Chain A
Amino acid sequence: MTFRRKLLAVFALTVFLSVAAVALLVLGVTRNAFEKSEEQRTTTLVTQFQREFGRRGDEVARRVEAIAASSPVSRMATALNGTSADSAEYFDLARQMAEGYQLDFLEFLNGHGAIISSAQWPAKFGYPDTAFENLSASSGESAFLKREELQDSTALGLFAVRATRISEHPIYVVGGRRLDRDFLTGLDLTADMRVLLYQNRSDHFSADSLLDPSAPVNGSNAARPADKFANLVDAVRQYNQEMSGIVSWSSDQADDEVFHALPLRGAGTDRPLLGILLVGHSRRSYVDLKRRIRASALLAGGGGIILAILLSSWVAARVTRPVVQLAHAAQDVAAGHWDTRVEVHGRDEVAQLAESFNRMTAELLAQKERLVQTERVAAWRELARRLAHELKNPLFPLQLTVENLMRARTQSPEQFEEVFHESASTLLAEISNLKKIIGRFSEFSRMPQPQLQAVQVNEILGQIVKLYQAQLEAPGRAPLECRLEFAENLATIAADPDLLHRALSNLVLNAMDAMPNRGTLTLRTRRDDGKVIIEVADTGSGLTPEECERIFTPYYTSKQHGTGLGLAIVQSVVSDHQGRISVQSEPGRGTTFVIELPDNLEALSETPAAQDAASTTGQFARRD
């Protein structure tokens, strides 16, 4: 990843985190504010419901009071004042009065609690009301909840009790309205509010006990199953107090409703839990508003992030441009362009860095020139030394031969002819030697540029082995074992086959020279990381670390009659092929030269000749 991208990423991440933090903060604050608002709204709605509930209770109480004060009830009370009075004729009075006063429940009880007339269960006349003690105590009080037993079920009702007293035998009027679908739907509530009633008939939650006005009359609300209220109802029953909870109807939070559960207790000392009123309101408005805020925050955050990325890109480009220029300049320097310079803008640290870079390259250039000069001088000195060394050896015999000739002419003219012939042979031999020395130097100075072709390394090695097979098995020397470990399907590489042949031949000859006695010459090829690896190993006496360090230095040799140019030529050839040569050796354990050559096939496409050569893989001609 480039510096610019890193800088851009850092800027963008910083801006993103900042915007996200702000958005989360805004959302959090908004949520808290809305939750408080929701709580207040719920409280208001529950209060409104309780007020409405109380109003209905007052209405029931007024109607029961009116019934108790009505003429038919007064006449009945008067007629039944005597102990032997027959109440049969008033059997249907409760039904008639209940219809007239629009009450769902109405019963007339005598002073002993026996039912004189019942609107909700007419057949129950004469039976005692089991809750008579509580009812008589509630006479005159406000409305209360009561579970009323019916023919085949039970029902919750809002009841009131009033007494009609003619003398010492009162008639109790117990009237009420049923807490049913009509009662719930008749409540004056806001549009998004609804009320459900759970009748606490058993110890466990039962969906059948939940009265949902929004459900079909004789069915269940498939979209809003009653089981969803089980937890809330069970919690209220367990803790016996008001509780709130969110009921989710679908995966969409907007469908959720907040329900406030009000325990409905009956009259009496134990105040049994008769039912649970579930006052609910939709969270749709809240969720929609929250979604709008979230969308706005996301939109603003997203826009901010995009803007920040654009600004960051611009800023990063401006900030990193000098650095990029420095990097490119450094790459140029690394590539050998020591005269590279960068423009300096401003006075900041980057500008100082650019100035320093320019100074550094200038200094490097100067030092390079000095170094080149020094090396050139040194090279000339070394060349002179070598030349002197090489030339001194033949010159000394020449000198001796000439002096011998001169001494023979002077001192032994009769032998001069013989000496002359001998000296002439010696002179010719030494002069030939001198020519050879001069030829090798000439050859080294004339190392040609590689002419790349598609080359199979294994084939070249095979040819070399064939070339030196005779020497390996020469009768005058100890036999050498030649081991070939060529990798199969070795890739073709672009190389000059003549130069490569010469370099590898040098290595083979060196190896053979290193093994005057028995030994094993191993030629090995392999593929490694896209490169072709060539190893030439001997089992000779090996090299010391110092020899290993200097072995590729021109004119350095460990041999008695070597020029010290063989391995230098090898290294030159390898370098010209963008390769690398190394030596691994220990004294007494042989020496292995390792050549790494890239395939360098892309260089083949640069010249048509090379392309033609590439089409004849493995075929090459020796150059004269």
Chain B
Amino acid sequence: MKLSGWRSFVVSSMMIGALAVVAETRPQYGGVLHVAMRAAPTSLDPAELDPAKLAQPDSFGQRSLTMLMFDTLVATDEGGRIQPGLATSWQAPAGNQRWQFRIRRGVKFHDGTPLSAEIAAASLRAANPSWNVSADADMVVIEAAKSDAELLAEIALPRNAILKRNPGGTPSGTGPFHVADWQPAKKLSLAAEENCWRGRPFLDAIEIEMGKSFREQMTALELGKSDLVEVAPEQSHRISQEGRRLLSSAPVELLALFFTRDAVSPDEKLLREALAWSVERGSIRSVLLQGAGQPAGGILPNWMSGYGFVFATDAYLARARQVREQVPNVPTWTLGYDGSDPVARLLAERIALNARDAGLSLQPTSGAVTDLRVLRIPLASDPWVALADVAALAGVPTGKGGGSAEDLYASELALLGTKRMIPLFHLPVSYAASANLNNWTLRSDGGWAVADAWLGTVKP
């Protein structure tokens, strides 16, 4: 009996231990995910994610945030293929100019309103005033001068998420989480949507702290106050060396110098060219970015376009001086940067230093009115859409999209030829997560999904 009792104790202990291990690896419902992010949006409207709207800079974090609350008609998978979203099917019978999207049945907005083609069409019209969007029974009809691939990729972007705009209130979406509390630019509380058409998420809620610097985010992660934080590119190497969970995307963010106006004279174009030749991308990447990212001579990263390597990235000081000497009078340009981004300030100062070597004069400033700025532009996963976004940000009209790689190269070359921008780097998007966060994924395009994520019980 004694032996039997001891055996029973041992067996039961082993079973309890086994169950605990299973519990750690099996998804669990519940818990609140704490996220910190640097962006501080003042609106939850996805239409505000337009890269041409500098008042509220676009960011991957904000895009991911949008996709927690809203859905798009179609979505792109890891391979860049278009997958159904709120639209179950689509077709373009009339030469890719008239697209019809069949709306998924049984989907409701967070306020209980059923999803209809009319609401979806209204949402798309609000986000794209230039489009001709209408509803036809359960079909959303879009007439737009875009190629099929470009339009689908465009519709898959977070800024084209379908929502129901409530006058004076937060918009309602169909995503896995709904808004529980919203303090613009400070904090967003999301609660799990029980009746989400995609199924209820494991997490009960998500608390998102906004406007936090990279340093504050990392401190919050170390203190266990955040489960998911953004990591600056220059910090990713150190974070990974410290053994933390770090996930990085492909280089999907363009870091570039953007001139705020067109070059008004040939001399100014020459000066811009001299500036482009003077920047030591290699040294900057090595030191300021601590090896993160890729030097960029073009707008699109090589993994996206396939020809990115053809653009020169090395500094050519002699060439820069030679070009600069063709201009008799050199003005002093003000180089703007985001004052809350320490790397941006150092980057601006280094570029000014490189420019001085070439005989140019740049005055770094965190002021709003400048001649050129250091900007980070999240690129869309579709190269044509990404190119169009950059062109829109630069204020340069774009031609008809779609076509072969040669067309893409020609378009990019034309865009660079405007001298409105000087690409510097393509940067990855990196996140650090606590050990509690499970099944969290970072897509190659920089977006992250927490619909299937769940929180464990591992102590920090």
Note all chain A residues with C-beta closer than 8 A to B350: 123
With the chains together, A86 CA to B363 CA distance in Å? 29
Q: Is the CB of B291 within 8 A of A152?
A: no
Q: Is the CB of B363 within 8 A of A123?
A: no
Among candidates A121, A125, A151, A152, residue contacting B287 with C-beta atoms closer than 8 Å:
A125
Q: Is the CB of A151 within 8 A of B283?
A: no
Q: Is the CB of B283 within 8 A of A125?
A: yes
Residue of B nearest to A86 (CB): B286
* Cβ contacts A358-380/B at 8 Å (1 or 0 each): 00000000000000000000000
List residues 118-142 of chain A with CB under 8 A from any CB of chain B.
121-127
Residue of A nearest to B289 (CB): A88
Q: Is the CB of B353 within 8 A of A123?
A: yes
* Cβ contacts B371-390/A at 8 Å (1 or 0 each): 00000000000000000000
**Interface residues of B, dominant DSSP:** helix
Least CB distance from B353 to A in Å reads 5
Least CB distance from A455 to B in Å reads 106
Given contacts A151-B364, A152-B363, contact A88 B286 (CB under 8 A): yes
Q: Is the CB of A126 within 8 A of B346?
A: no
Note all chain A residues with C-beta closer than 8 A to B287: 87-88, 91, 125-126
Least CB distance from A86 to B in Å reads 7
With the chains together, A123 CA to B353 CA distance in Å? 8
Least CB distance from A116 to B in Å reads 10
Q: Is the CB of B353 within 8 A of A127?
A: yes
Least CB distance from A109 to B in Å reads 15
- Quick check: is A343 within 8 A (CB to CB) of the other chain? no
Note all chain A residues with C-beta closer than 8 A to B363: 152
* Cβ contacts B345-357/A at 8 Å (1 or 0 each): 0110110110000
Note all chain B residues with C-beta closer than 8 A to A88: 286-287, 290-291
Note all chain B residues with C-beta closer than 8 A to A121: 349
* Cβ contacts B285-319/A at 8 Å (1 or 0 each): 01110110000000000000000000000000000
With the chains together, A68 CA to B364 CA distance in Å? 32
- Quick check: is A89 within 8 A (CB to CB) of the other chain? yes
Total interface residues on B, CB under 8 Å, equals 15
With the chains together, A83 CA to B288 CA distance in Å? 21
List residues 506-542 of chain A with CB under 8 A from any CB of chain B.
none
Least CB distance from B424 to A in Å reads 14
With the chains together, A47 CA to B218 CA distance in Å? 52
Q: Is the CB of B290 within 8 A of A126?
A: no
Given contacts A123-B350, A123-B353, contact A89 B290 (CB under 8 A): yes
Note all chain B residues with C-beta closer than 8 A to A122: 346, 349
Note all chain A residues with C-beta closer than 8 A to B290: 88-89, 91
Among candidates B283, B347, B352, B364, residue contacting A126 with C-beta atoms closer than 8 Å:
B283
Q: Is the CB of B352 within 8 A of A91?
A: no
Q: Is the CB of A91 within 8 A of B288?
A: yes
Least CB distance from B257 to A in Å reads 15
Least CB distance from B288 to A in Å reads 7
Residue of B nearest to A126 (CB): B283
Note all chain B residues with C-beta closer than 8 A to A125: 283, 287
List residues 66-97 of chain A with CB under 8 A from any CB of chain B.
86-89, 91
Note all chain A residues with C-beta closer than 8 A to B283: 125-126
Note all chain B residues with C-beta closer than 8 A to A87: 287
Least CB distance from A47 to B in Å reads 42
Note all chain B residues with C-beta closer than 8 A to A151: 349, 352, 364
Note all chain B residues with C-beta closer than 8 A to A123: 288, 346-347, 349-350, 352-353
With the chains together, A88 CA to B284 CA distance in Å? 9
Given contacts A151-B364, A152-B363, contact A124 B288 (CB under 8 A): no
Residue of B nearest to A151 (CB): B349
With the chains together, A123 CA to B337 CA distance in Å? 14
With the chains together, A152 CA to B364 CA distance in Å? 9
Residue of A nearest to B286 (CB): A88
3 nearest CB pairs, A to B: A123-B349, A123-B350, A88-B287
- Interface residues of B, Cβ cutoff 8 Å to A: 280, 283, 286-288, 290-291, 346-347, 349-350, 352-353, 363-364
17 contacts between A and B (CB under 8 A): A86-B286, A88-B286, A88-B287, A88-B291, A91-B290, A123-B288, A123-B347, A123-B350, A124-B353, A125-B283, A125-B287, A126-B280, A126-B283, A126-B287, A151-B349, A151-B352, A152-B363
17 further interface pairs, Cβ-Cβ under 8 Å (given A89-B290, A123-B352, A152-B364): A91-B287, A91-B288, A91-B290, A121-B349, A122-B346, A123-B288, A123-B346, A123-B347, A123-B349, A123-B350, A123-B353, A126-B283, A126-B287, A127-B353, A151-B349, A151-B364, A152-B363
